[in-house]
Structure 1
Amino acid sequence: MTATTDVTTATGLADRVLGGWLGRIAGNMLGKPVEQGEVWTRDRIDRYLRATDALPLTDYLPGPPTETEERALRPEWRTCVRGRVHGSCRDDDVDYAILGLHLLETHGFGFSTEQVGDLWLLRLPYLQTFTAERAAYRNLANGLRPPLTATYENPYQEWIGALIRADVHGWVSPGAPGRAAALARKDAVLSHTGNGVYGAMWAAALVAAAFTAATAREAVDEALGVVPASSRLARTVRRVTSLHESGLPWEDTLDTLEEETAGLGWIHTVPNAAVITAGLLYGDGDFSRTVALTVRGGLDTDSNGATAGSVAGVMCGAAAVPDQWKVPLEDTVRSAVFGFDGVRISELAERTLRLARAEV
């Protein structure tokens, strides 16, 4: 994925940061209607797209062709499909990016894991948290402190929640994947362990590397350097890169990884990291193709679309994100984070840019 803007200039960095926000929100919106991996398999998503004459996918999902499909979609589909998008719908994949920005503005880059938890209790409604985050929130409310917040009665420690919180740490660390990973780790250990933490570190590093990498493959390789090489996450990402390099088609690569990660579940970090990696590599520098392949890959579609969109948006810059993705967003975000509902995407990007400039 060849960059079209120069991160070393003020204008270039601003375009990349805004591209990351736009890409995350658009990718999240694309995947939101079919976010339920055990129902919306890769095969079913493509059958839906064929039935609506939407392959190749180059825009938000079309509305459902039948009542059966309508009932299967997430209820948010009415604000996430073509012709119905007027600003972003509320979603935790965007809420955590906003909360992470507020964390850095409030406490700086030296924030502690305890301060992450304090901000959750202050700004984030409990019922807008899920899986590992809800377990950690409950533990915080009951007086536990990290790392017990991540381990006590929490069966979701390696699920994708920490990964979806990581992008902001990459946006404020342009070209510095190690630094981004260190920030993401402090956030992640509030609720996750093992591959759950490695996934957050990898995602933050991937976004940070995207500012200076010449291609998606280069960003993926750089991001691998921040997690233990023997971890299942790293081994799975390397497996995707080797299959892509061998010339195996995208569908066959995901078939192979589906077999090799069987049993982990559709919200586990590892198989979702495989889908994200495949989307970036087979997307081959095209924003629309990257987010489309990632969402068509199934599993946690909105989270994966958001992460791949963020990386692709950083690499190409906001100016190069096609209008069909960004114009319907109307520069507006709905959010459950207290004090941020209705905030402008451009404002979020400007606030992120101030932090990023301090570190360039």
Structure 2
Amino acid sequence: MKSSLFLTCFIVFSFLLFSCQNPQSSQSLFEDAQEISLSKTSLQDKIKGGWAGQVIGCTYGGPTEFRFNGTMIGDHIPIPWDENQMKWWYENVPGLYDDVYMDLTFVDVFEKYGIDAPDSLHALAFAHAEYQLWHANQAARYNILSGIMPPASGFWKNNPHSDDIDFQIEADFAGLMAPGMVNTAADIGNRIGHIMNYGDGVYGGIYVAGMYALAFVHDDMEFIVEEALKTIPKESEFHQCITDVIQWYSQYPDDWKRNWFEVQKKWSFDKGCPDGVFKAFNIDAKINAAYIVIGLLYGKGDYGKTIDIATRCGQDSDCNPANAGGILGTMIGYSKIPDYWKQGIDKVEDMNFKYTDMSLNKVYEIGLKHALEITARNGGRIEGDQVIISYQKPKTLPLEVGFEGIYPTKRMNLAKNLNTANQEVAFKIQGKGLVITGEAVKEASLSHDNLLLNVWIDGKLMEEVRMPTNFQSRKHEIFWFYDLEEGDHEVRLQAKQIPQGYQVNVREALLFSSINPGNQNY
């Protein structure tokens, strides 16, 4: 009797020990477990796989970035890959790695000021950084430099790009520092994501970070894709879009192009971004996240196939394979990324990314340090060479909806200038809101300056607009406002301080209405 009891206990103990030490052997073994064990060696390998996988994917997609908008990249179109690709891009087009050095900005703040560093420090770090920014990041930079701090800097009424891809491409760090802790990754992402985004724009980053966190402890990509989505509210368009991709994958498991066509038919509209509405260009978070997921699902664990599919979906075709390559790289580890795809990485691993004092080799080391600290802070512990992770089941975030109750209706070509010779631009609109696009420019011999103009609507001064000529600190759009009374309005832009040799180019007005124009996507 005792021997039988002893044998039973021994079998149960061995089963539990095996499931903890081999978390990827079977999803079901530890889905409900409280703790999962990884060796430090394995954890480091996965962190390296995440960072290296991101850089490889970004480099591979670099030549095609935004050159195929609204269309996939055909199989007949070659995408180069050899041992010199990464070094060439590092040295000649370092701006390609904006999604990486933005990640590293946040990693650096955590390293300098601790894991509890407030959002304001992260915001100020990237707002004052030397690198150039676009879309939600640049709109947030302007806001922060103007004293509008997070989360207001990313709120959609303060940032017309709040649904754009920006935080999604730079959220990898949040998952890489939270192995197996999907809610911790979401908490980090939710704080920092609101610096530059809101709603779906934040959800994109949280979803990517969640997939990274889960990739440390699962080897089933279908499970990772579906489980991470549980952090996102079902009512959001982001959740609905990714749910569709998963459903179409089950219908067409061997035809990624059919899935792409279904995504294009239903989700290719852009509601907010002034550069993308009514155009083929689409930097919206959800459709580009759909391309990440298409790559991850149809790649079926093959690294090259994964980043190739994510790239050939088009649009932001460097950032999407970067996310996909990093997530898969985390799952399989650096050591299992095929040598073909790692060729040339040894040439750049000690090179600092431009605008930073951090290289891949340095972030491998710092990444392990941060992951161990986050693990210990969240119920885990380190026992010799073993890292005991307190595994987290995903919790759903509250619902946020940007651009709620408004619909784009028209692009007006203005093609006017404000300068010393032309002091006013006036036009009429119909609707509830508008965005006026354009930029401040100067003659080459002149120094940078801040130009000033007033925006009047129906005779009321709406804003005194400061327009820097410096690209680093520029205002991404001249003016936007979404809370007019539905109806006819007169808009007038009036030069206030625009010296000789300087000019504000007034390009377009994107109009919005509270009345749904009948487009089924809205």
**TM-score over 0.5 for the alignment?**
yes
Counterpart-to-counterpart distance in 1, 2:61 and 2:43: 27
Change (3 A) 1:103 1:315: same
Counterpart amino acid of residue 160 in structure 2: P
Displacement of 1:109 in angstroms is 2.9
Change (3 A) 1:305 1:332: farther
Q: How does 1:13-162 map to 2 (within 5 A)?
A: 13-39=43-69, 41-43=71-73, 45-49=74-78, 61-62=79-80, 81-87=81-87, 89=90, 90=94, 91-122=97-128, 124-125=129-130, 128-151=132-155, 153-162=158-167
The answer for the alignment partner of 2:365 in structure 1 is 350
Counterpart amino acid of residue 85 in structure 1: Q
- Greater CA drift, 89-98 or 294-303: 89-98
Displacement of 1:130 in angstroms is 1.1
Counterpart-to-counterpart distance in 1, 2:237 and 2:113: 33
Change (3 A) 1:86 1:236: closer
Counterpart-to-counterpart distance in 2, 1:233 and 1:269: 8
- In the alignment, structure 2 segments of 5+ residues that lack a partner are 1-22, 26-35, 271-275, 277-281, 376-388, 390-522
1:259 and 2:265 are equivalent in the alignment: yes
Counterpart-to-counterpart distance in 1, 2:215 and 2:66: 28
Displacement of 1:101 in angstroms is 1.3
Give the conservation status (yes or no) of the 8 Å contact 2:162–2:198.
yes
User: Secondary structure of the equivalent of 1:143?
Assistant: coil
- In the alignment, structure 1 segments of 5+ residues that lack a partner are 50-60, 63-80
1:301 and 2:320 are equivalent in the alignment: no
Give the conservation status (yes or no) of the 8 Å contact 1:109–1:183.
no
**Percentage of identical aligned residues:** 27
User: Secondary structure of the equivalent of 1:47?
Assistant: coil
Counterpart amino acid of residue 326 in structure 2: S
User: Secondary structure of the equivalent of 1:8?
Assistant: strand
Displacement of 1:206 in angstroms is 0.8
Displacement of 1:307 in angstroms is 0.3
User: Secondary structure of the equivalent of 2:318?
Assistant: helix
More strand by share: 2
1:271 and 2:277 are equivalent in the alignment: no
Counterpart-to-counterpart distance in 1, 2:68 and 2:313: 12
The answer for the alignment partner of 2:206 in structure 1 is 201
The one-character-per-residue Cα deviations of 1:37-67 (angstroms, maximum 9, x if unpaired) are 5558314x43322xxxxxxxxxxx22xxxxx
Give the conservation status (yes or no) of the 8 Å contact 2:99–2:319.
yes
RMSD over aligned Cα, in angstroms?
Answer: 2.1
Change (3 A) 1:349 1:355: same
- Greater CA drift, 153-162 or 14-23: 153-162
TM-score (norm 2): 0.59
> Given the alignment, which residue of 221, 227, 244 partners 1:216?
221
- Greater CA drift, 136-145 or 104-113: 104-113
Displacement of 1:298 in angstroms is 1.0
Counterpart-to-counterpart distance in 1, 2:355 and 2:53: 20
User: Secondary structure of the equivalent of 2:38?
Assistant: coil
The answer for the alignment partner of 1:314 in structure 2 is 330
Give the conservation status (yes or no) of the 8 Å contact 1:100–1:165.
no
Give the conservation status (yes or no) of the 8 Å contact 1:128–1:336.
no
Displacement of 1:262 in angstroms is 2.2
Change (3 A) 1:336 1:137: farther
Give the conservation status (yes or no) of the 8 Å contact 2:311–2:317.
yes
Change (3 A) 1:312 1:202: same
Counterpart-to-counterpart distance in 2, 1:217 and 1:289: 16
Aligned length: 323
Higher gyration radius (CA): 2
Give the conservation status (yes or no) of the 8 Å contact 1:28–1:305.
yes
Give the conservation status (yes or no) of the 8 Å contact 1:42–1:297.
yes
The one-character-per-residue Cα deviations of 1:96-154 (angstroms, maximum 9, x if unpaired) are 121121122123332322121121134x22x5211110111111111222222123652
Counterpart-to-counterpart distance in 1, 2:269 and 2:70: 17
Counterpart-to-counterpart distance in 2, 1:297 and 1:168: 24
Displacement of 1:3 in angstroms is 5.6
Displacement of 1:7 in angstroms is 6.4
TM-score (norm 1): 0.84
Displacement of 1:267 in angstroms is 0.8
Counterpart-to-counterpart distance in 2, 1:112 and 1:324: 41
Change (3 A) 1:325 1:3: farther
Counterpart amino acid of residue 300 in structure 2: D
Give the conservation status (yes or no) of the 8 Å contact 1:3–1:317.
no
The one-character-per-residue Cα deviations of 1:189-222 (angstroms, maximum 9, x if unpaired) are 0111110011111111111011111211111112
Displacement of 1:284 in angstroms is 0.6
User: Secondary structure of the equivalent of 1:155?
Assistant: coil
Counterpart amino acid of residue 285 in structure 2: T
